[in-house]
Amino acid sequence: MIKQQLLNRIADKSAVIGIVGLGYVGLPLMLRFAEVGYKVIGFDIDQSKVDALMAGRSYIEHIPGEAIAQSLGRGFEATSDFSRAPEADALILCVPTPLNKYREPDLSFVLNTIDSLVPFLREGHLVSLESTTYPGTTDEELKPRIESRGLTVGDNAFLVFSPEREDPGNPDFTTRTIPKVCGGVTTACQEIGVALYSAVIDQVVPVSSTRAAEMTKLLENIHRAVNIGLVNEMKIVADRMGIDIHEVIRAAATKPFGFVPYYPGPGLGGHCIPIDPFYLTWKAREYGVNTRFIELAGEVNSTMPDYVVSKIASALNERKKAINGSRILVLGIAYKKNVDDMRESPSVILMEKLRDLGAEVSYSDPHVPVFPKMREHRFDLSSVPVTPETLKTYDCVLLATDHDKFDYAQLKAHAPLIVDSRGKYLEPADHIVKA
């Protein structure tokens, strides 16, 4: 029986694991499967990533090269050759699901990936999609493509959705310790998916279907987006009333029940929270449902960069300066503290808005030494050193991402004007403006 053969291979670790997409999600997953003794083949269309990995080099800051080298020693291989897919028993898809310019789901990476794999699918393959998407994607898009190969999902091929839950830079949670949700197209698919992930994850959470698993991931991130939208709106109200919202949040967080602290910022960043709500709002229209609450939070969060720019303009104006012609240093361009991940970073939006208004923009980020090539954003810049001397040459320093590596006492002592969008400075000062 094909199902039992695959379960046996997973159990005795003779199964070969194929991971498609070797980025912030796929690479940690590869390390974990290799760590427990599985042979892993990593697939990526970016040959430079393949070459780096095969040379034992990492291109993600929080993943050391030593870990890659250890995996190579355990038999890991990286390749851009999808014709090697039959060598794997499980194919785990970890590719991006961004939005297009109309803020609609862009499934091109997922569909191009599965279309590239279809010619090489065989009996006994398990396909697992980890990319965040709208409910129904696995059933509606992947299942027909797999079955076009002459396979029957649930009988001689298996399909699950198990959303990624990586939190880059979080020292408290690893791939192993973050519980893993898994939903299968059939009960046989579910059984194999749970067996696979249970081999490397401490707790696997089965749900009744791929749609339930897809919705679970969206709820997790929409929950954050809506609450961040609420606290961003509260920040604006509090500011007009002369109240420090961060002081209010700290006080409210002393309540031991019924309150979870969320913190305002210059906008939403990362590959999940700014994007995932739109996957659900788009799909909900098919069912005649208007997701007004979710969309309102999206509107509030998307206006935060404009709010920060208005605070910069006001602060400079009080000092008889305009944004046009001012030298502005943006501190931190990663989307959150202590990582090198630039995806959907609000800092980049802020830099563009300031540049468009005529500012001379520089940045400093200890995690991003050179501004990377991005699909939609272009800056020919490198991170500048932060010293007492350089700080004095800027008209304004915008604290956009509060990395721990910044010397906040030095900033306060030497920057003529600081616009703090992260609530880092608790004590008021004449040259520090909360945004």
What positions carry a catalytic annotation? 272
Are 92 and 78 in contact, with CB atoms under 8 Å apart?
no
Tokens of 62: 């929080």
Q: Cα–Cα distances in Å, from 267 out to 201, 233, 252? A: 32, 12, 22
Residues 6+ apart with CB under 8 A from 302: 267, 268
Tokens of 109: 């990476």
Are 416 and 430 in contact, with CB atoms under 8 Å apart?
no
**β-pairing verdict for 158-161 and 180-184:** antiparallel
Can you count the helices (H) and strands (E) in the chain? 16, 13
In our burial notation (b when 16+ CB lie closer than 10 A, e otherwise), range 24-35 reads bbbbbbbbbbbb
Round to whole Å and give the CA distance between 58 and 60: 6
Round to whole Å and give the CA distance between 228 and 35: 36
Round to whole Å and give the CA distance between 168 and 165: 10
Round to whole Å and give the CA distance between 46 and 109: 13
Find the helix or strand (DSSP H, E) in which 68 lies.
helix 65-73
Supply the DSSP string of 38-50, one letter for each residue: -EEEEE-S-HHHH
Q: Cα–Cα distances in Å, from 140 out to 128, 146, 159? A: 14, 11, 12
CB neighbours of residue 322 within 10 Å: 13
Amino acid at 75: G
Are 400 and 333 in contact, with CB atoms under 8 Å apart?
yes
Are 418 and 412 in contact, with CB atoms under 8 Å apart?
yes
Tokens of 200: 């490397």
Find the helix or strand (DSSP H, E) in which 210 lies.
helix 210-240
